[in-house]
Structures are given as structure tokens and as C-alpha cells.
Chains A and B, each alone.
Chain A
Amino acid sequence: MRNVIAIARKDFKNYFITPVGYLVLTVFSGIMGWMFCSAVFDFLRRSQAAMRFGGIPDMNVNTMVIQPMLGNMSIVFLFMVSFITMRLIAEERKMNTLELLLTSPVRSSEIVLGKFLSSFAFFALMLAITLIYPLTLSIFGDPDFKQIAAGYLGVLLLGGTFLSLGLFISSKTENQITAVALTFGLFLFFWVMSWILSPSDSIGGQLISYISIIDHLANFIRGLIDTRDVIYYISFIFFGLFLTHQSLESLRWR
């Protein structure tokens, strides 16, 4: 356990030694800030227009601002995951520090967990920054915080999934660019899949929509925590970490 934390801390610090970490945080909060502001602006404008026509409309800041924001956040994060995970293992391979790590008495599972934790902590930091948005909304309005909490939980789990897969890909190549490209491509594939496949009632259709990573997020964002979705994401994270573990083990053999 101590090893896990040691590895996690070291990698976490790494994010802030080079500009990469700051760049990711800045870009992410910049984009999300922009999306948030325009959503709020749009919402206010439409509320005013609707009120002018008489009657109090069904304008709800939860469904019209926060939920889309959480959804967008997931997509933006999808594109940025590759940058967070790429260096985790690929760089170590390139710099041959991985050999050092593997020959040390540290177990592969501890390496995997440690690196995952560091990226997850970084991701949590990204999310924490976005908490400003619902907080400012609560000063001026009345958002449903319980629902927002459920939404963030979903994004956390989804992010964990992306991270574990990104970690796996990072463990398979030496080239960071390749890692980025592969991760990018894989997630794009998942995302597009949930778009294209039209919902149908057949067992195949149900199965495919179950596999779609992003579809499970919808329930969390709307305020529903279903044990099905939690199990789904945790299984995914576990599987990603497992694959990474296998990948590291195979590296030991060489």
C-alpha cells in the first residue's frame, strides 16, 4: 500500500513539473468556463424572453445549464484524457526508467494502482475546479445540489474508465504520440458508436447500448444513481487496470 501511494505521489507531482499539467488544467477550465458562461447567458436570455410573453415558463437551470455542461465536460475530457495518460507509462518506457521500476521489489499491481491513482487525482482536480460553476449558480439561483452531486459522481466514474483505458494504451507503446493517437481513436470510436447505433429492442441492440460508455452517464447526470451503472463503470475500470497489469507483466519477461 505504501508503494502505491509513493508511486502515486511521484507521478502526481510530475504533472506539475512540466507545463503539460498546467496546460491541461488551463485549457480545460478555459473551455468549460466558456461553455458554462454561454449556457448561463443563453438561459437568462431565454428566461427573460419567455417572461415577457407572460407566465412563468418551465425554465429549469438544472436541466438546461448544468446537465448539458456535465455532458459536455465528459466529451471535452474524452479528448484530453490522452494527454493525461500518455506519459504515465509510455514515457517511462522511453526513458528506460520502467526497467528500474520493474526490477525493484514493487509489484506490478502496485505500479498500476499508483499510476492510476495519480491520474485520477489529477482528474479530480480538474473536476474540482469546475465546481465553481454550480457554486456560483447557487448564489443567484436554486440548483438541485443532490442531482448535481449524482452527475459529478457519474463523470468521475466515466473519467476513471477513460483513464484506466488510457493507462493501458500507454503501457503498450513507447511513443507518446502513438499513445495519444490510439487513446483518442479508441474513445472516438466509443463515442461515435453510441451515436450511430439506433436504439432497438432486440437483444443485440440492448447489448450494444449497454456497452456504450457514454450512455450510462445519462442516468447520473439526470440524478439517478442506479447500481447497474455503478457496477458497469467499476467493472470497466477494473478491466482496464487488469489489462494494464498484464501488459506490465509481459514487459517483465522481455
Chain B
Amino acid sequence: MKRSVIYNLNTATLTLIVFGILAVVNFIGFRHHIRFDFTKQKSFSLAPQSIKVVKTLKDEVRVIGFYEAKEKSMFDNLLDRYKYHSKKLAVQFYDPDKDKVIAEKYKIKQYRTVVIEKGKRETRLEDITDENGEEKITNAIIKLEREATPHVCFLKGHGEKEIADREREGYSVAQDELKDEGYDVKNFSLLESGKMADCSVLVIAGPQKPFLPKEIELISDYFKKGGRGMILLDPADRETGLETFLSKIGIVALNETVIDPISTIFGQSAATPVVSEYTSHEVVRDLKEASFYPLTRPFKIQTELPNKNIKVEAIAKTTPNSWGEVGPLKQGKVKYDAGKDRKGPLNLAVAASGKWSGRKDEKEMRLVAVGDSDFSNNRSFEFSGNGNFFLNAVAWLVGDESLISIRPTKAAGISGRLMMTPRQVQLLFLLTIVVTPLVIIGSGIIVWLRRRRLA
């Protein structure tokens, strides 16, 4: 009896020890783990931009999710991807139905709300799902990481595109997207020149009327003092006055319309050139999608720059098939007139940067000039690379290098389709439900018969 008791004790102890060791191994493995994403769409990995943002977090960021209990796994999946790259993210989950007190404290109105806190500042995001969550959360983190919110000022007063305009030609979409990136967007009038310095970026979107000389002077001063701005100048009959300012930097806004008979958008005329290859400038270096520009004018960069301290580069060019058509466009055919029209490739967008007087203590000015203001209006913003181009330009102007990279987008969900005819379905049915089991049974019978013969 005694022997068996000792034996059992030994076994039990050994079992406990082994269990303990396994528990420790699992615990360590839990803390230090590696993930391998085996999906074609990389659903478990963050976009490069998100990884960049998360890895460079310096202070702790708290992410609090309020979801129904059954959707907790969606929240977990989303945040797991972030947590994998940084220990500075503290993630918490609350069920608004169960933890009413906390939900009240954060004034939660609906499910799928995520609150992100850093220090004393907080951002609230609504309707965060597995699909749209990454973009919104990354942008929110970027916004919180900034010391102050940059202001994007849209100039008014000369027939520019309006940010409040929700029609096809308006810029309400651009405004919404800028706000999503964490910028503050507002209208600006040159008459309130006192506040110009508050603008982090000045956007002049397609002015139609001429500027007063005093206004041009104000704008000039703004840039000279290290201002940042985007000038979108459509082809026009009349000069606005901005052309003079641009030529001071070495950018000549030509009075032509860009025609590209080949690289154009299907369904649009040849006057909507498509740019699919960009230069290596920061604004467009990571841009992979093409962009298009309805009715645009080209810029010429002078070989001898008037201000040697300011660097000017082209960022978007048209193909060699294009040309700059001089004179008004007529309906119907348009053709290249050698000697009159200018042959491509032409510069649709240029970027300038530098310290105006070349002194070390000066602030660096940055300017992006595009020969068209329709590429980022409500009709065109969300197509192809147009939106990204616009946002990248603003980000570069603000100095937000962390925002310039591939924004998290849904990978093309083309994988996973299935096309079958009824007959093919029948075949499938036969193969899997009938044939396979029959084969198994058949081989069983064969084996049985063989053994009977041997016996």
C-alpha cells in the first residue's frame, strides 16, 4: 500500500511540475510572440504608414473601445495589429451595456466608438470596423502626436473653389479629408491679413478674378517669411497676378492647355491628361496611383532661376505624346500645330522650397503649384491618386513627413471570386459526395477481399 501511495504522489508531483513548466513556456510565448501573416491581402499587417507612426510613439497612448460584447473580437483584431508594433499602446475594452458608468463618463452615444487619449488630449472616432478602422485610428494617433493642430487656410475673394460647396465643382470633400488627417480647415480672406501667420498652409484653389497688387504683395511676403502654400492655377484668359509672383521664383505659368491624346481618362476628352509616372520628389515619391487633371495648364521652370536660394522641381509631368495647345479650345478635333503648340512632356505640377534670402535663421518656404484646380474637387478627389496627391502635397507643406506614405487602403478584394456553371456544380457534387466515399468504401472492400483470399 505504502509503495503505491508514494508512487502516486511522485506521479502527481511530476505531473504538476510538467504542467508548471508548460504554463511558464506559454506565458513567455504569450508576451513575446511573432506573427506571420499568411493572407494574400495582408489583413493582419498594418500599412507601412501605420507601422511608422506606431513605432515612433514616444509617450503612452490609450485606446479605449466601446463595442457590443459580440463585436469585441473585431476590436481586438484591429488593435492587435497595432499592439504588435509598440508597447506604448494601452488598449482597453468596455461593453457600454455592462459598464454604464464608464460609457457615461466618455459620453458614448453609439456602439463601435473608439476613444484615443494622449496625456490630456483625446480624440473620439465613431463606427470603427475592421475595414475602415486602421486608417482612422492611424490618423487619429498622428493628430494627437502633433503639438498643435495645423491650420489649412483656403483663400476667398477671387472666385476660388469653396470648401463649403458640396456640388461637383466644390471642395467639401477635400475639406473633409483634410479634417480626417487632423488638420483644421477654414476660409481666409486677405483683408484679415493680420491673421495670415496663423495659417500653416495657404491654399489658393483656382482663382478666377485678378488680385489687387497689394494682395499679391501680401502673398509674396507670406512666402518670403517662410510661408507654405499651394497655388492651383487653371488655364485662363486673364492673368490673376499670381503669375508674376510665381515667375519671381522661376515658375512660368504658360497660357496653354495641356492635350494628351493617348494618356487620358476613358470617357473624357484629350484635355484631361493622366500622369502615371512621378518624379522622385518627396510629395510624390511613394505615390503609385495615377492622377488626372481636367483642363490644365503647364508650367515652365526657368533654367536660370531668379532666386538661387529657392529650389524648384517638377513633380508631375505628362507623357511625350502631349502638347500644350495655344489658343482657345474648340469643340471637336484638336491637333498639334508644330511651331505654335509646345511639345510634351510638360510639367503639370511643380514644387519649390528654400530660404528666401538664404540666411540660416530663416524659415524655409514651400510652395506647390498645379496647373489645375479641378483634380481635387468633389467630382475628382476620390478617384485614383488625385486625393492622395492633394493630401501628400498638403502634408509636405505642413512638414508632416510622417503622413507621406501609402495610406492604409483596402487591398483589391479580387481574390476570392468563384464562377461555376450548373453543370460544374453537379460535377463537384458528384466528385465530393459520391465518388470520394465510394472510392474509400471500394478500397476497403478490395482489402477485405484480398484478406479473405489469403485466409
B42 to chain A, nearest CB (A): 9
Choose the segment among B308-316, B385-393, B421-429 that binds chain A (4+ C-beta atoms closer than 8 Å). Answer: B421-429
B428 in complex: contacting residue of A22, A37, A59, CB < 8 Å: A37
Q: A197 CA to B235 CA in the complex, in Å?
A: 66
Contact A246–B418 (Cβ < 8 Å) = no
Q: Does B193 contact A (CB under 8 A)?
A: no
Decide if B35 touches A224 in the complex (CB within 8 Å): yes
Give the residue of B416, B420, B431, B447 whose beta carbon is less than 8 angstroms from that of A132.
B431
| A1 proximal to B (CB < 8 A) | no
| Contacts A37-B433, A40-B428, A150-B38; A142 near B420 (Cβ below 8 A) | no
Q: Residue A146 at the B interface, CB < 8 A?
A: yes
Q: For the complex, would chain B's binding face be called helix, strand, loop or mixed by DSSP majority?
A: helix
Does A62 make an interface contact (CB < 8 A)? yes
Is A53 on the interface with B (CB-CB < 8 A)? no
* A110 in contact (CB, < 8 A): no
Closest to B98 in A: A200
Tell me which residues from 105 to 127 in chain A have a Cβ below 8 Å from any Cβ of chain B: none
B72/A199 in contact, CB under 8 A: yes
Q: Is B454 an interface residue (CB 8 A)?
A: no
- The verdict on A184 contacting chain B, using a C-beta distance below 8 Å, is no
The smallest C-beta distance from A208 to any residue of chain B, in angstroms, reads 14
Interchain Cβ contacts within 8 Å, total number? 157
Assess whether A228 is in contact with B30, with CB atoms less than 8 Å apart: yes
In this assembly, does A104 line the interface, its C-beta being within 8 Å of a C-beta of chain B? no
A-side contacts of B413, CB under 8 Å: 58, 60
Q: Which of B93, B94, B428 has the most CB of A within 10 A?
A: B428
CB distance B38 to A146 under 8 Å?
A: yes
A40 touches B425 (CB 8 A): yes
Cα-based distance from A231 to B29 in the complex (angstroms) = 7
The stretch from A23-31, A72-80, A94-102, A171-179 touching chain B is A23-31
Nearest B residue to A215 via CB reads B73
**Shortest distance in angstroms between B251's beta carbon and chain A's nearest beta carbon?**
43
A-chain residues with CB within 8 Å of residue B187 when the two chains form the complex: none
Which residues of chain B are within 8 angstroms of A40 by Cβ–Cβ distance?
A: 418, 420, 425, 428
What is the CB-to-nearest-CB distance from B105 to chain A, in angstroms, rounded to a whole number? Answer: 17
Q: Mark B21-38, 1 if CB is under 8 A from A, else 0.
A: 010011001100111111
Complex CA–CA separation, A12 to B195 (angstroms): 84
> Are the C-beta atoms of A140 and B420 separated by less than 8 Å?
yes
Name B416's contact: one of A34, A36, A63, A146 (CB within 8 Å).
Answer: A63
B429 partner residues in chain A, CB cutoff 8 A:
37
Residues of A within 8 A of B69 (CB): 198-199
Chain A residues with Cβ below 8 Å from B7 are: 250, 253
Bound-state Cα–Cα, A235 to B26, Å? 8
Choose the segment among B274-282, B322-330, B434-442 that binds chain A (4+ C-beta atoms closer than 8 Å): B434-442
Docked Cα-Cα span, A232 to B25, in Å, equals: 9
Given A29-B437, A33-B432, A239-B19, CB of A144 within 8 Å of CB of B33: no
Known pairs A132-B431, A142-B417, A231-B25; A30 contacts B437 (CB<8 A)? yes
Bound-state Cα–Cα, A131 to B117, Å: 48
Output the least CB separation between B256 and chain A (Å).
40
Q: Report the Cα distance A239→B432, complex, angstroms.
A: 36
| CB-based contact A144/B22 at 8 Å | no
Q: Does B86 contact A (CB under 8 A)?
A: no
A47-B418, A222-B39 known; A227-B15 Cβ under 8 A: no
Q: Is the CB of B417 within 8 A of A16?
A: no
Complex Cα spacing A47 to B7, Å:
64
Contact B441 A22 (CB under 8 A): yes
Closest to B81 in A: A224
Of B19, B30, B416, B419, most buried by chain A (CB within 10 Å of CB) is B416
- In the complex, whether B172 has a CB less than 8 A from a CB of chain A is no
Is B44 located at the chain interface by the 8 A CB criterion?
yes
Expressed in whole angstroms, the minimum distance between the Cβ of B414 and any Cβ of chain A is 7
Give A210 Cβ to nearest chain B Cβ, in Å: 8
Q: How far is the CB of A10 from chain B (nearest CB, A)?
A: 16
A-B contact pairs, 15 of them (CB 8 A): A29-B437, A40-B420, A40-B428, A43-B418, A47-B417, A132-B436, A141-B417, A141-B418, A142-B414, A142-B417, A144-B40, A223-B37, A242-B18, A246-B15, A253-B4
Taking A60-B415, A146-B40, A235-B26 as known contacts, 18 extra A-B pairs with beta carbons closer than 8 A to each other, sorted by chain A number, are A19-B444, A25-B440, A29-B440, A34-B433, A44-B420, A59-B417, A60-B417, A132-B431, A141-B416, A142-B414, A144-B39, A147-B39, A201-B94, A222-B44, A224-B35, A226-B36, A232-B26, A249-B11
Nearest 5 pairs between A and B by C-beta?
Answer: A60-B416, A141-B418, A22-B444, A223-B39, A33-B432
